[in-house]
Amino acid sequence: MQESGGVPDVFDPRIYATGIPHDRFRVLRDRAPVARQEEPEILGWPAGPGFWAVTRHADVVRVLKDSATYSSCLGATQIRDPDPADLPFIRRMMLNQDPPDHGRLRRLVSRAFTPGRIERFAVTARERARSLLAGAIEAGGEPDLVRTVTDDYALLNLTDLLGVPPSDRGLLHTWTERVIAYQDPDEPPVLDAEGRPVNPRSPGMLAEMFGYAQELAAHKRAHPADDVMTVLATSELADAELEMFFFLLTVAGNDTVRSAAPGGLLALAEHQEEQRRLWTGEADTGTAVDELLRVHPPVLSFRRTAARDTELAGQKIRRGDKVVVFHASANHDERVFPDPYRLDLGRTPNPHVSFGDGPHVCLGAHFARLQLRVLHEEVRGACAGLELAGPPRRLVSNFINGVKSLPVRLREPFAPRA
């Protein structure tokens, strides 16, 4: 276990390529729940000033709820410091705002995420899951469920909700890959004109996406439909705010399910007895989805910046310090979750923080849960069970808990459909 000053390192993105570093998080929760972490130069990115890692559930919730003390705006929400010149641009996004500005934007956009609109997508999501699974089964062999099912399932559901034409959906996939996978050495690096690594969230890197957002908004004003982009295009959002919402929904909306879906299937493949409980109906699908989200949160960490001198878990924090909460650690805190390393699809209560907490709790959590519930129901209906056919491949990232490949064997006989 690599350590800095006796404290386990949970910053290095390469650690997460082999899974959540539970041993490191457990040491931090027990010995240093608010621990100083170094930011050395890694994967071509320059060294940073370091940050406080928050690993216990109660402290993570406290940070996420207290936006007056722990700001999303001062330094944005990624561990690495953005270029100071980019900060005004980054702060246009709701994710990187504090109340009251954050509340105004959230209220405007929440009109697009009505329960009725979300529930209407259940039928489409079910048809899509069924079709993708049928294709994977018909191809035979040992399908990679990421390539054959979950990537397309997440992306196409999102583009339906947004109202993106089928011909343009590949663009969203490209933009998402660029933003999410920039730490992974297997992915093409995002470089500036001089060949240096550059933040994919910088204005120059997002210009193409923003231009498309404006074109799509203009189309929706002329041809309104029952989709999220029509609501945004006809709202009180300024052009810059609309562009940032399109970016946020494209990336966060896609990658939440894109990461959680294969992560949940991986957990089921690794825990055959719990998988049996789901297949036989002994475990409720909705409850199971939350437990799968607990053990495989789609987002690993979020950063805040101390707006004033404070103290957390006995540790003094200075104004301007970076404070990073680790969702995966909080979800396995023995102080909150009995036997936290056991997958229990009937676990209740289950106060996981996979969708965050406080004012920034995930706006699309209901849509994500719906998609995951439908997918697991359709997997259960398509086969008699699944098991790993090879080791999964994970994303190199300290932000997104991504699964890049999930080869499986789907057991026969396939259950008859109603």
DSSP letters for 188-240: PP-B-TTS-B--TTSHHHHHHHHHHHHHHHHHHHHS--SSHHHHHHTSS--HH
Q: From the CB of residue 41, how many other CB atoms can be counted at a distance below 10 Å?
A: 9
What pLDDT does residue 415 have? 45
Write out the two tokens for 148: 């054959």
Q: CATH number of the domain at 243, please.
A: 1.10.630.10
Task: Answer yes or no: is pLDDT of 252 > 90.
Answer: no
19 part of a folded domain: yes
pLDDT tens digit sequence for 20-57: 999 999 999 999 999 999 999 887 778 899 999 999 99
pLDDT tens digit sequence for 143-186: 999 999 999 999 999 999 999 999 898 888 888 777 665 555 55
Instruction: Identify the band that residue 418 occupies on the pLDDT scale cut at 50, 70 and 90.
Output: very low
Q: Give the closest residue to 73 by CA, choosing from 94, 50, 55.
A: 94
324 part of a folded domain: yes
Are 310 and 398 in contact by the 8 Å Cβ rule? The answer is no
415 part of a folded domain: no
Q: From the CB of residue 14, how many other CB atoms can be counted at a distance below 10 Å?
A: 14
What pLDDT does residue 196 have? 52
Instruction: Identify the band that residue 195 occupies on the pLDDT scale cut at 50, 70 and 90.
Output: low
Task: Answer yes or no: is pLDDT of 202 > 80.
Answer: no
For 76-104, what is the HEC assignment? Answer: CCCCCCCCHHHHHHHCCCHHHCCCCHHHH
How far is Cα 415 from Cα 359, in angstroms, rounded to an integer? Answer: 43
199 part of a folded domain: yes
Instruction: Identify the band that residue 366 occupies on the pLDDT scale cut at 50, 70 and 90.
Output: very high
418 part of a folded domain: no
| Cα 57–Cα 60–Cα 62 angle in degrees, nearest 5 | 110
How far is Cα 288 from Cα 290, in angstroms, rounded to an integer? Answer: 5
How far is Cα 201 from Cα 150, in angstroms, rounded to an integer? Answer: 25
Task: Answer yes or no: is pLDDT of 261 > 90.
Answer: yes
291 part of a folded domain: yes
- Mean pLDDT of the region 256-265: 96
Task: Answer yes or no: is pLDDT of 240 > 70.
Answer: yes
Q: Could you give the number of structural domains in the chain?
A: 1
Domain containing 102 equals 3-410
Task: Answer yes or no: is pLDDT of 416 > 90.
Answer: no
Instruction: Identify the band that residue 326 occupies on the pLDDT scale cut at 50, 70 and 90.
Output: very high
Instruction: Identify the band that residue 74 occupies on the pLDDT scale cut at 50, 70 and 90.
Output: very high
Write out the two tokens for 6: 């006796």
Q: Give the closest residue to 352 by CA, choosing from 325, 318, 378.
A: 325
Helices 115-138 & 365-382, crossing angle to 10 degrees? 30
Q: How far is CA 19 from CA 302, 320, 398, 401, in A?
A: 18, 31, 11, 8
What pLDDT does residue 206 have? 76
Task: Answer yes or no: is pLDDT of 378 > 50.
Answer: yes
How far is Cα 67 from Cα 59, in angstroms, rounded to an integer? Answer: 13
Where b means 16+ CB within 10 Å and e means fewer, 249-283 reads bbbbbbbbbbbbbbbbbbbbbebeebbebbbeeeb
281 part of a folded domain: yes
The strand pairing partners of 403, in sequence order, are 394
